Structure 1
């Protein structure tokens, strides 16, 4: 039976307080005002005092308005009808399509029992050489994309959404500019990927509580599809906006702030979402890629700093490309030995030579005379950046590996690469 209360004790910003009993954390309520009805979520319990975050904000609410508790937490409809649809952070249609209300599932549930998990063992092909060759994405992996404002991280996510070899994409946007929302929608539609995509989008103009719900709704839907045997890739942007929403609500509740004003449970809040990544032993999988913007390009900022302790590496987007030395996929060794026999060796050799190229660039900038070896490295570095690092390059893994061999052959003698002789005999260009 729904519990109804007709007195609001306090209104502070978007948070209202009501004296109530038998209310659960996360339970939804309806706030009835003279302007209409608004949803609210229970965000704090203090003895008989219940604090609720009002989705539409506190404007227009008076202390005499009615609060009706619904007896359940936030829910979202789950069915194949979600495919190709776009919703807001509260699960309401944003695309003008019909509202879905069948087969409601609860969001923000616990992570999967480890007994149901298997060791990650399959790669996800993206067509992006800096991922497929050098930092392979693995099913059930959780990876952030560390970046700064102005970098093309949303463009990178859109490319991955269109090219990743998965069954389903769930895209969760938090604090997006409206232009970014339209970019995702139009790019996926033109690329033919919208039909296998579900979007939950919170824009900067939407209620802040919906920003907090986007990851939970996205992951709840992804989990149900994974249990049906689908391999799901969840793309989230931007987790720093999510953390800022946590901070704003914590300030409203007058919580004691932690590092740089963020709540003390920031790590737990982030981990609760990232740990939803899973490869089920008897079903599908959930893989998570989440943009984390770093204010001032500061990796010690609380959001990227806490994220790094949770995830299995990171993609570092810098200067318009995925940086070879800042990026790391800790699970790549689980799969890149199974792709092609030369994958791991060519990956190591290419990165080692690119590091030498960076050193040569520094020598050149300081006016040192360039040796024959230095000139080879300079040529190699330019080709590597054009053929591997440029985000416009879109080639399959095998073609990318072949191109690695071609690049080496154009710049070096076989003995200068440090590669094994048996691999050189088999793959070196001109020796076949």
Structure 2
């Protein structure tokens, strides 16, 4: 059992951060405060607030107070609990909603007697992982056909404010072929939180979903804990129960902004655009939790990363791109095929999917690229050939049938629709595809609808 130690000399109060004096030699004892440990801070009127150690110095400890420093004075007592933040893990958390402190906020049954696990642990040993080789079906053609989501992949949705990225993320959550969905909301307005919850409930998948929610009005320190809580629970489901777990996090830019706010309050030397110098490491610690376990299930991480000003060179998307295995680029309400990328799709396309998948993907994207060029020629009043007219027709059908994020169809149906779309616009020899695939899949006149 941990030995609880208390100090009562608060040296500094800055925003939601306090610095407490630790006596000489205090860091050397077994009961000394450690990085990320929790503490209870006494407030005015006998109240208490939870805090977390975020910095250690020779004679002082800095703590982030969860509920803010209102009511904290320089003689407030600080009692260190001797352990880091934990989160409830058991089968009882499915269908429940928690806040950033790990407390249920849905009015459901008490979980205080359920087991708890420490959050923020190291990534799994690479020797315990296997190569990503299984597809997660989403029924979104621009993902399943063109940028396949693979089990154990870590991939963000790059977008900007005003785009329907939250609705899109929620739709993937209810349609994805996964055993458990762990949702983490960071800095959400209440309407967005309610929309996510309603989406999961109305789709009948809330029983396999766990929600960790930090609202915009909640303390930012809770915002920083949400990803670790979601990932700690996801790892347990994958390792101990062999579940295929999909983790959804929105918005990681809000997480990075919380890190930035704390680092400024700590007087740390800022890096690019004021973000902390360890931004890359902080993001990587979370994304690298994605894994396909040799003995167990898998953890797949899909996040939203908003780009301020649609600037992909902004520090958050820029660092994210070096960590993750591609991105889905949500732009003007559609998944842009030229800005999106899945680096692991080659592990499953044609191996776990239909034989024509790779050829259909490459051919339709080539034709759509040609359609974009033909449209530019048309806009500049150049003369268009018959083939250009066919490309333009194909481009219109492709945007309508595939790029709309509301399109919902299984992979095989999407591949068949791609063949029908090509047949409506081109002759077989114009596709430049393998003849055996054309003979097998190209619709004949009586098959075309």
- Alignment of 1:84 onto 2:95: yes
Q: CA deviation at 1:48?
A: 2.1
- Alignment of 1:294 onto 2:307: yes
Q: String of CA shifts for 1:26-84, please: whole Å, max 9, x gaps.
A: 00000111241110000000112100000001111111111110000000110001000
Equivalent residues of 2:130, 2:292 under 8 A apart = yes
| 1:345 alignment partner in structure 2 | 359
Q: Secondary structure of the residue that 1:401 maps to in structure 2? A: helix
| 1:48 alignment partner in structure 2 | 59
| 1:429 alignment partner in structure 2 | 443
Q: String of CA shifts for 1:339-388, please: whole Å, max 9, x gaps.
A: 10000001000000000011111111111122211111111001101111
Question: Alignment RMSD, CA only?
Answer: 0.9
Equivalent residues of 1:92, 1:99 under 8 A apart = no
Q: Secondary structure of the residue that 2:360 maps to in structure 1? A: helix
Aligned with 1:279 (options 277, 292, 306): 292
Aligned with 1:98 (options 106, 109, 123): 109
Equivalent residues of 2:140, 2:409 under 8 A apart = yes
Q: String of CA shifts for 1:272-299, please: whole Å, max 9, x gaps.
A: 0000000000100000001000000000
Aligned with 1:155 (options 164, 167, 176): 167
Map 1:321-332; keep pairs closer than 5 Å: 321-332=334-345
Q: Distance in 1 between matches of 2:265 and 2:105?
A: 28
Q: CA deviation at 1:94?
A: 1.6
Q: Secondary structure of the residue that 1:242 maps to in structure 2? A: helix
Q: Secondary structure of the residue that 2:10 maps to in structure 1? A: coil
Q: Distance in 1 between matches of 2:332 and 2:8?
A: 56
Equivalent residues of 1:377, 1:411 under 8 A apart = yes
Map 1:224-373; keep pairs closer than 5 Å: 224-227=236-239, 228-338=241-351, 339-373=353-387
- Alignment of 1:383 onto 2:373: no
Q: Secondary structure of the residue that 1:336 maps to in structure 2? A: coil
Map 1:163-182; keep pairs closer than 5 Å: 163-182=175-194
Q: CA deviation at 1:107?
A: 0.1
Q: CA deviation at 1:99?
A: 3.8
Which runs of no fewer than 5 residues in structure 1 stay unpaired? none
Q: CA deviation at 1:191?
A: 0.9
User: Could you tell me the TM-score, scaled by structure 1's length?
Assistant: 0.99
Q: Secondary structure of the residue that 1:64 maps to in structure 2? A: coil
Equivalent residues of 1:77, 1:105 under 8 A apart = yes
Q: Secondary structure of the residue that 2:249 maps to in structure 1? A: strand
| 1:138 alignment partner in structure 2 | 150
Q: CA deviation at 1:103?
A: 0.9
Q: Secondary structure of the residue that 1:52 maps to in structure 2? A: strand
| 1:189 alignment partner in structure 2 | 201
